[in-house]
Amino acid sequence: MAKITREKFKTQDDVFDRFTQDTIRKLIGQNHFEEDTLSPIFIGKESNVFKAESRRGPVIVKIYRLQTCDFNKMYSYIKNDPRFTKLRKQRRNVVFAWCQREYRNLFGAREAGVRVPLPFAFVNNVLVMEFIGNESVALKVKDDYPLDPKAFLDESLDNMMKLVKGRLVHGDLSPFNILNWNQKPIFIDFSQSMPSKSLGADQLLARDVKNVLNFFNKKGEKRDFDTVYNSLLKELRKNQ
């Protein structure tokens, strides 16, 4: 993967605008990763994901785009989060809150016993977290189907239950947001995650269950939606 240096920052304004460059340098100054080591991994709808080197080894640097993200869509989700009720609908405020939200949700998920990357730091629109993989990042389950799909799905559903017991709903769970690392599921992309008491949490939970089960059902690992969803919903309502 090609390194992205300061010179290349200037040619990628949709990601590396001047404000984001300053934020990156602040995190470098705090020793969260080393200068000129960003290597691209993934381009998403609202963020770009990079690998970087640090004193602790490789880390993930997730940069939420300030200029080209759909901040209206972000706001439509975050406005129902009781932790952000005073958030003003301004582009930078929404993107910064979105980044902070993922950081906080990752900690909440870990406290609930869910296998997720450890978040290290965030500043403004940039999040630094644990790198999952060896030389290359672990693949998503859509690209690396598990050798034992039954065990993998069982553990994924167990992690969903742990999340709900920890008063969180992922909100965007799918084979795109579950890594297969050593034949174990690692949940990622927690920016849309909601406390269980949030408005619409049950609908988000239903979508998560549907996305996960549909993927495995098509591969031959059949589970009944109503059985799985009702079990999770019962626990969700205990924590609302």
> For 183-219, what is each residue's pLDDT tens digit?
999 999 999 999 999 889 999 999 999 999 999 999 9
For the segment 144-163, the average pLDDT, to the nearest whole number, is 98
Give CA 17 to chain center in angstroms. 23
Residue 8 pLDDT = 47
pLDDT-derived band at 14, boundaries 50, 70, 90 = low
Instruction: Find tokens 């640097």 and name the residue.
Output: 61
Inside any domain, residue 1: no
The three-state DSSP-derived secondary structure of 78-144 is: HCCCHHHCCCCCCHHHHHHHHHHHHHHHHHHHHHCCCCCCCEEEEECCEEEEECCECCCECCECCCC
Distance CA 148, CA 194 (A): 30
CB 112 within 8 A of CB 185: no
Inside any domain, residue 159: yes
Q: Per-residue DSSP letters for 47-61?
A: EEEEEEEETTEEEEE
> For 60-101, what is each residue's pLDDT tens digit?
999 999 887 788 888 888 988 889 988 988 889 999 999 999
DSSP bridge partners of 185? 180
Q: Cα–Cα–Cα angle for 120, 108, 222, nearest 5°?
A: 115
In the predicted structure, residue 233 carries a pLDDT above the cut 90: yes
For helices 225-238 and 149-165, the axis angle rounded to 10 degrees is 20
In a shared domain, residues 33 and 83: yes
Count structural domains, the chain: 2
Three-state DSSP class for residue 170:
coil
Q: Which residues contact 58 (CB under 8 A, 6 or more apart)?
A: 51, 52, 131, 133
Range of the domain at 19: 6-130
- Respond yes or no: is residue 17 known to be catalytic: no
Choosing from 17, 189, 208, 224, the catalytic residue is 189
- Respond yes or no: is residue 172 known to be catalytic: yes
Tell me the CATH number at 196.
Answer: 1.10.510.10
Residue 216 has a CB neighbour count (10 Å cut-off) of 21
Choosing from 13, 70, 148, 172, the catalytic residue is 172
Tell me the CATH number at 38.
Answer: 3.30.200.20
Residue 10 pLDDT = 43
Q: What percent of the chain stands above pLDDT 90?
A: 73
In a shared domain, residues 75 and 115: yes
In a shared domain, residues 50 and 87: yes
Residue 46 pLDDT = 86
CB 181 within 8 A of CB 138: yes
In the predicted structure, residue 156 carries a pLDDT above the cut 60: yes
In a shared domain, residues 198 and 116: no
Residue at which a domain ends, from 102, 130, 158 = 130
- Give the distance between the most distant pair of CA atoms in the chain: 54
